[in-house]
Structure formats: C-alpha cells, structure tokens
Amino acid sequence: MTEPTWMYENFEPAGSAIGYRITRKLDEVQSPFQKIEIYESTDWGNLMLIDGAMMLTTRDNFLYHEMMSHPALFTHASPKRVVIIGGGDCGTLREVLKHPGVESCTQCDIDEQVTRMAEKWFPELCDKNNDPRAELLFDDGIAYMANCPAGSVDIVIVDSTDPVGPAEGLFNKAFYESCFRALKDDGILVQQSESPLVLLSLIQEMRGEMRKAGFTTFQTLPFPQPCYPTGWWSCTMARKSGDFEYRVVDSRGKAFETKYYTADIHQGALAPIPFVSAALGK
C-alpha cells in the first residue's frame, strides 16, 4: 500500500460495520483450520483477523482479556488450577498468571498458528508463555475437556471465537457437561458471550445449554470492546450451585497492574441493566 486505506468488517446481524485505517498487511497464514491475517493500522497498532473477523488490536485487547479473567479469579474463593479453552493469542493466559495463587494454567487451542502469530506480532501478550505454571497445548479443546479428570479444575475460561467454524462445538450442552464434570464443586465456568446489545438471544441460548448441563447460577458481565461488533461485549460466568461471592477486598488490594479492571469496574459490571435483566433474569 502506498498510502493508508480503510478496511471494514461488516456485521450482518446488526446491520453495522467496523472500520480501521490500515497502512499495510504484515503477515498471513492459512492454517488447517482458518485464515489468519495481521495488518498494521495508523491508530490501533496491529490487528489480527481470523477468517475476516476482527480478533484483537494492540490498542484495546486489554479490555477483553482482563474481563475474561479477573472477575472469575476474584470470585472463586481460592483458584489454583485454571484451564483456558481457546485463547491462542495468550492474552487471557497472561492475565490469569498475574494471580500469584494460581498454581497451573493450561491453555488448549486447536490452532497453533494463532499463538505463533501472536508471539510474532503481539509479543506483549505472550510474556507469560514461558512461566513454569503455564502449559500450552495445541489440540481439540472439546476433547480435552471431555478427558479432563472429574473435579480437577477450579476455573474453566472459554476464550473462543464466534460460535462458527472450529468454535461451534463450544456453545452446547455436551461441551458444558464436560466442563461441569471437570470443575470442582465450587468451580466457575466463564465464556465470552458476545454483544448483549444485538446478540442477547445467543446469551439466552448459551445459558439455557449451561443450565441443561447442570449449572444453576449465572452472571453476565458487560464491558466495552471497540473492535467487536457494536463495541459492547460480555462474558458469562456459571456455577454448579450457590451464589457468586465476589472477593472485593482482595480485588481492591491486588498487587498487579491492570489497565481497565478494578474492584469498582467489577462491581459496576454486576449492576442490573433493565433490558438485559428482563431477558436473562438471574
């Protein structure tokens, strides 16, 4: 490219699009599973697209990665064993391992090329990849959870792409049953749950499948995410039984830095939003 040009991702369900001013394509690889592209932008750093859909930018990925990890880790009483399904860019792994009490974190993503591209173009996300507590697997996350020993995991984080292609099987009762079995009695399941503004029906369906698998208690936490459709995203937490008990004192006293997540942000995300509460209930 001789001068900056605009690239748009159209999002048909919302009748909207997201655009970025880009200067050049940095890299591209066609893995056995999907096409991964890296672009340089004028204002948002590097961009990663998978099959034409925006996955992350240098400038705003911290919003997603922090909210996918810290709310759950500061809700569980004592998280020691964490599993991330997906998450190949390693940003969620980095946030999880900021918690000194975590003894091990396994990241299982089916596509090794996502991690290799992240290491090359988003190295700041991968600075925990060599942490002795980290285990990086490149395998089928559905099979991994199906074979996970019962009652062996404190938190499962499903850091997946949209429910199409390789990620389609991560949004149904069978997968959630595997997560339910692998979690300890006080375990927490977390899944990225798309936009509450235009994809509320997907969150309803997701909770319905989780409920069929045995989960009884849910929280959906919204947060800003400019590079995703509508700019407003969410994660959904599920428990086997009992209420969520947010460790607000520990959150306020955390010994590590975050760019977005704070105790007050966490509490604010738990505040009822009328139209979301009306659709989802508790």
Q: Indicate the length of the chain as a whole number.
A: 282
Catalytic residues: 159
The Cα–Cα gap between 62 and 51 comes to: 22
On whether the CB atoms of residues 33 and 166 are closer than 8 A, the answer is yes
34 marked as part of a ligand binding site: yes
45 marked as part of a ligand binding site: no
Architecture of 5-57 per CATH? Roll (2.30)
Nearest Cα neighbor of 184 from 79, 282, 67 is: 79
Residue ranges per domain, the chain? 5-57, 61-280
Amino acid at 240: K
78 marked as part of a ligand binding site: no
Q: What is the mean pLDDT of each run of 10 residues along the chain (282 residues)?
A: 87 91 97 97 97 96 98 98 97 98 97 98 97 97 96 96 54 91 97 93 92 96 96 96 94 97 97 93 72
Architecture of 61-280 per CATH? 3-Layer(aba) Sandwich (3.40)
264 marked as part of a ligand binding site: no
141 marked as part of a ligand binding site: yes
Q: pLDDT value at position 129?
A: 97
The structure's pTM equals 0.95
Query: Which residues, in sequence order, are bridge partners of residue 108?
Result: 85, 137
| 215 token code pair | 């989960």
